[in-house]
Structure 1
Amino acid sequence: MTLVDIPYGGKPISIDIPEKNLAGILHPSEPKKHEDEAQLIKNALENPIGSERISEIVDPETKIAIIVSDITRPVPTSRILPHLLEELGKGNAKDENITIVVALGLHRNQTEEEMKKIVGSDVYERIKCVEHNPDNCVPIGTTSRGTPVEVFEKIMDAEVIIGTGNIEYHYYAGYSGGGKCILPGVSSKNSVITNHKMMLLDEATAGNIDSPVRQDIEEAAGIANLAFILNVVLNSRGEIVCAVAGDYIKAHRKAVECVDRMYKVPVEPADAVIVGTDESKGMNLYQAYKPLDNAKNAVKDGGTIVLAAPSAEGFGHETFERWCREHTCPASVIDTFENNFEFGAHKAAFIAQLAKKHKLLIHSEMPDEDVRDIFFEPVRDIQKVVDDLLEENPDARIYVMPYGQMTLPIRSE
């Protein structure tokens, strides 16, 4: 037997799987933690890619906007910002000319405590911090794909816009980070929805840098004059193992190379896959879709996907929840969505597509009836699921993905 631990929103669950049935533990090929992650960040800021140092771009009069991610993202913003502010200080930028904007996209607002947690208490007291408001955006252009570029007015008040974030796989934009701080980060609902409609295209998949969604995002970031990014790559423990700064495309691509080396894992599809979630992706079912989507490549058609996601916040999105409750079968969701795109409903449609091909199980804190509304079967004991699966098929092969949001199985050709 092999004892395997998977995260459950930050807490481990232990599972025993016979060695002959364990197809593999799909771990990232992670480098060791850098002894001094602060030095990684400083090196990135001192050696930007495709750009001057940000300290050479600003002066004492420059109005600066720094975009940071909201609480649903695992970005260690509070560990990044002090170094960025120090570099800005080398250009004599004044604190009173800096505004930190929390990018919400179309997510919920943050509490004051969450804001302090995101940026750090010292920075929160020192620098003006505001939240993006998708209803308070100004139109500045249109992409070649027809997406209106409408950006939060406090961003457009700045002369220099800086984006921060982390880079990992994204299920329809290919990768997070880079220009995503602008779109969807600080854009209007109209902009976000128009861009997100491209998620239905075949090329809009995790790990595809040429996803039409990302191409559109980067064009919008150019229209908004995103001047500089500071992005990091994290390992499964949330430690920074790579940092890049500079041009929002060139620096981003350098980090993407790191992500691919670490997180693309070749697989032969198995009978089942058990996938864990970190605290940010495990907080609600809406966020937990991302590791679920990564896991699909590791399992055969008709196989079983077991998702471990506490989902203490429940569905996590009003529209997503409404669509889950209104439709009684996967086909109904898919058919309706194809003729009536609605942001938030896309994850209901994607889960419905998975439910038509796989048996979906979830270990969570959600009520059983809610779980069934989105075509999952609730399970209280993942070990029992494994035991039942092997009783039914003693030769079944099972993968375990402890860090589902970070690992991208790639089917062998």
Structure 2
Amino acid sequence: MSTVKLKYMSSYVDVDIPDKNLYAVLNPEDLPGVIDPFREVREALDKPIESIPLKEMAKSKKNVVILASDITRPSPSHILVPPIVEELKEAGVEYSDITVVFGLGYHRQHTEEEKKKLVGEEVYSKVRCIDHDINDCVYLGTTKRGTPVEVFRPVAESDLLIATGNLEFHYKAGYSGGDKALLPGVCSKKTIETNHVMMIRPGTMPGRAQGNPMREDIEEAGRIAGVDFIVNAVLNSHKEIVKVVAGDPVKAHREGAKYIDKMYKRNIEEKVDVVVASCGGFPKDINLYQAQKGLENASYAVRDGGSIILLAECREGLGEATFEDWMMRAKTPHDCVEWIQQEFKLGAHKAAVICMVLERAKVYLVSGLDENLVRDIFFIPAKSVQQALDKALKEYGEKAKVLVLPYANSTLPYVE
């Protein structure tokens, strides 16, 4: 018998798994943060991947735009942007010809204080820093999957476009970073929604770029809009920079993705009968909306008709109003999947992806939520992990295979 410790709430719980059933325990493995992050950025700029150096690219440019993430993202813009601005200045670009545009997607506008904090005092005082305006976009073309590429006017009018961001798994577009700074970052509502509906297509999943319709559509939009160069930071779970990549928007992005894979992707031979998944305790399981990440990752290791046992305390309930509304209104999990195709709604999109998992596997939820509420949203309430596991082992028999994800929010099991 093997005893596995799992984080739940602010402490740990144990689960006993018969050795004959334990298939694997998968853990993430952080790489250490670099000692000098600014130097790491400069080195990436000096050795761009599959691209001429930014200094050469910027010669005689009169309208340079740098895309930066908004305040809801962990991208370290205050470290990435200053060396880019220095590089542009050395190439002869005037400060007055540089604009930083914060990609808001659907999010709220920033205060001036927040903009200053995002790029640092020095950059803020020298170059124009503006928010993307979702209502002031210009049509530039249509992708072959039918997404109209409508881009924020100042971005569309630039003669050199540099995208910054951080690289991590994205639950449907494969990875964040790269051309995602453009779409959804600085596009119109119509563009964002048309692309986002692709999240229910086969091939969309974390850790997959090739053959992922959502990511490929984003990258085609990047070519239509003319993203010239990227600078992306790879962060570990402590939000420290472990690597910076710069250069070609696709080739440099893929190079950076290898570091994410090394830390958080775990290859397995086959899908199993039962996956036991802890989100990693508080605050990663503060509500079901946040815990979705762990459930999604667990779903890539479970076979159709298998069971997931999810540990998520959810002390703040379901966690998002639109998400809650859809989960409570649905009569079957398929309702949410249908509704998202008729009308894309932020917040509700997580209800759709959770319901896609619920359509193909049983999900036991070990949480602080009321049992009736848990049943109403198509999960099976469980008093403890052990109780749920014993029940699942009884159902799948002697040879049932069990896989454990102690940090499901940041571990991606991947069947090649």
Q: Structure 2-normalised TM-score?
A: 0.82
Partner residue in 1 for 2:405: 400
Inter-partner Cα distance in structure 2 for 1:61 and 1:203: 39
Inter-partner Cα distance in structure 1 for 2:280 and 2:118: 20
Inter-partner Cα distance in structure 2 for 1:254 and 1:280: 31
Say which of 303, 311, 329 aligns to 2:307.
303
Partner residue in 2 for 1:246: 247
Q: Structure 1: any 5+ residue segments left out of the alignment? A: none
> Any conservation in 1 of the 2:37–2:241 contact (CA below 8 Å)?
yes
After superposition, give the CA deviation of every residue in 1:219-245 in whole Å (9 maximum; x if it has no partner). Answer: 111111111100122222222222110
Partner of 2:300, secondary structure, is helix
Say which of 333, 339, 342 aligns to 2:344.
342
1:227 equivalent to 2:231? Answer: no
Inter-partner Cα distance in structure 1 for 2:117 and 2:281: 17
Partner residue in 1 for 2:72: 72
Question: Larger C-alpha radius of gyration, 1 or 2?
Answer: 2
Partner of 1:226, secondary structure, is coil
Partner residue in 1 for 2:14: 16
1:1-80 alignment, distance < 5 Å: 4=5, 6=7, 13-18=11-16, 24-59=24-59, 62-80=62-80
Inter-partner Cα distance in structure 1 for 2:8 and 2:125: 34
> Any conservation in 1 of the 2:64–2:98 contact (CA below 8 Å)?
yes
Aligned residue type for 2:169 = Y
> Any conservation in 1 of the 2:277–2:295 contact (CA below 8 Å)?
no
After superposition, give the CA deviation of every residue in 1:146-184 in whole Å (9 maximum; x if it has no partner). Answer: 211100112123221111112222232222211111111
1:148-163 alignment, distance < 5 Å: 148-163=148-163
Partner of 2:309, secondary structure, is strand
Shift of 1:48: 0.6
1:13-412 alignment, distance < 5 Å: 13-18=11-16, 24-59=24-59, 62-110=62-110, 114-209=114-209, 210-267=211-268, 269=272, 271-276=274-279, 285-286=288-289, 288-300=291-303, 301-308=305-312, 315-316=319-320, 319-337=322-340, 340-344=342-346, 345-356=348-359, 357-361=361-365, 363=367, 374-376=377-379, 385-389=384-388, 392=391, 397=402, 399-402=404-407, 404=409, 406-411=410-415
Inter-partner Cα distance in structure 1 for 2:343 and 2:314: 28
With over 3 angstroms needed to count, the CA separation of the structure-2 counterparts of 1:221 and 1:336, relative to structure 1, is closer
> Any conservation in 1 of the 2:295–2:408 contact (CA below 8 Å)?
no
Shift of 1:139: 0.7
Shift of 1:119: 3.0
> Any conservation in 2 of the 1:174–1:207 contact (CA below 8 Å)?
yes
Shift of 1:138: 0.9
Inter-partner Cα distance in structure 2 for 1:90 and 1:294: 44
After superposition, give the CA deviation of every residue in 1:269-295 in whole Å (9 maximum; x if it has no partner). Answer: 353422326999767655553343112
Q: Alignment RMSD, CA only?
A: 3.5
Shift of 1:311: 8.2
> Any conservation in 1 of the 2:64–2:99 contact (CA below 8 Å)?
yes
Aligned residue type for 2:345 = F
Inter-partner Cα distance in structure 2 for 1:335 and 1:232: 36
Partner of 1:146, secondary structure, is coil
After superposition, give the CA deviation of every residue in 1:331-369 in whole Å (9 maximum; x if it has no partner). Answer: 33334445x2423333222212222322252657x8988
Structure 1 vs Structure 2: percent identity of aligned residues?
A: 39
Aligned length: 401
Inter-partner Cα distance in structure 2 for 1:348 and 1:142: 28
Q: Structure 2: any 5+ residue segments left out of the alignment? A: none
Inter-partner Cα distance in structure 1 for 2:296 and 2:407: 14
